[in-house]
Amino acid sequence: MTNGETLTADSRARLAAAFHTRVRASYGCTECGFLTFSCAHGWYHVTSDWAVVEPVDVDYRPVPPGRQSHTVLISNLANRIQPILRYDLGDSVLLRPDPCPCPCGSPLPALQVQGRAADVLTFPTERGEHADISPMLFGTLLDRVAGIEQFQVVQTAPSTLRVRLQPENNADPDRVWQAVRGEIAHLLTEHKIDHVALERAKEPPQQSPGGKFRRVIPLAQP
């Protein structure tokens, strides 16, 4: 299973060659884990009997098949305990423009996903190159720091990270910050990323306008 990143065609081919098997992936989220399944032709088919997928533009207007969306709204029709309707997932998708069925034979709607690769942090290095860090690495490190209820890492400049923390009720905020700062600094050093400023934010972690909580927010691109 891929987690947090898009399975590229190159990665799929390398995995297939290494393990001598067919490789399939699924595209989903915490709010709807069974959203799609992939086929041999590189499309993700929506389990449309249980979920609704709506590609929309920046003003939340429907985007036609064949055009990349700004974001996508999902509705989980199978969850009757906690209804999730038209949830803004934040991913850019493209609905298959050809009429069904797909060449694989499935009559279900199909899409391609730009996915959460947009959450990858990119930093300049002293060598004049760029280094990338997956958002999953921050979660792996900071989830083990005692005293954190929530965290959010925001890239406010190419070499600046602003860290928003919500400590647990009985935790010492200063100790939590020192531990978090040390873990992030170590991660950057391991990736040979130098001269990154770490700022301690006064504000707590923030939700997006659509209600989604992103733990890592890369620098906004013009």
Task: Report pLDDT digits (tens) over 109-155.
Answer: 999 887 655 567 888 877 777 888 888 888 888 988 999 999 999 99
Are both 149 and 134 inside the same structural domain? yes
Q: What is the pLDDT of residues 58-105, one digit of tens each?
A: 889 999 999 999 889 999 999 989 888 999 887 889 999 987 788 999
Are both 147 and 178 inside the same structural domain? yes
Secondary structure (3-state) at 50:
coil
Are both 99 and 186 inside the same structural domain? no
DSSP state of 156: E
**Structural domain contains residue 4:** no
The β-bridge partners of 148 are 167
At 60, which amino acid appears? Y
**Structural domain contains residue 129:** yes
Closest of 66, 112, 114 to residue 90, by C-alpha: 114
Are both 48 and 142 inside the same structural domain? no
| Domain closes at, from 115, 150, 174 | 115
Q: What is the pLDDT of residues 160-213, one digit of tens each?
A: 999 999 999 999 999 999 999 999 999 999 888 878 999 999 999 998 766 677
Residue 25: the pLDDT is 86
| Domain closes at, from 81, 115, 149 | 115
Q: In what order do the strands lie in the sheet with 160-167?
A: 197-200, 160-167, 148-157, 216-217
Rounded to two decimals, the pTM is 0.61
Secondary structure (3-state) at 153:
strand
Residue 210: the pLDDT is 60
Are both 109 and 147 inside the same structural domain? no
For 42, the token pair is 């590189």
pLDDT confidence band for 221 (50 / 70 / 90): low
pLDDT confidence band for 156 (50 / 70 / 90): very high
Which residue range forms the structural domain that includes residue 50? 9-115
**Structural domain contains residue 222:** no
Sole residue written with tokens 């770490």: 198
DSSP state of 196: -
Q: How many domains does the chain have?
A: 2
Are both 43 and 104 inside the same structural domain? yes
**Structural domain contains residue 2:** no
| Domain closes at, from 89, 115, 141 | 115
Percentage of the chain modeled with pLDDT above 70:
93
Are both 45 and 108 inside the same structural domain? yes
**Structural domain contains residue 87:** yes
Are both 136 and 90 inside the same structural domain? no
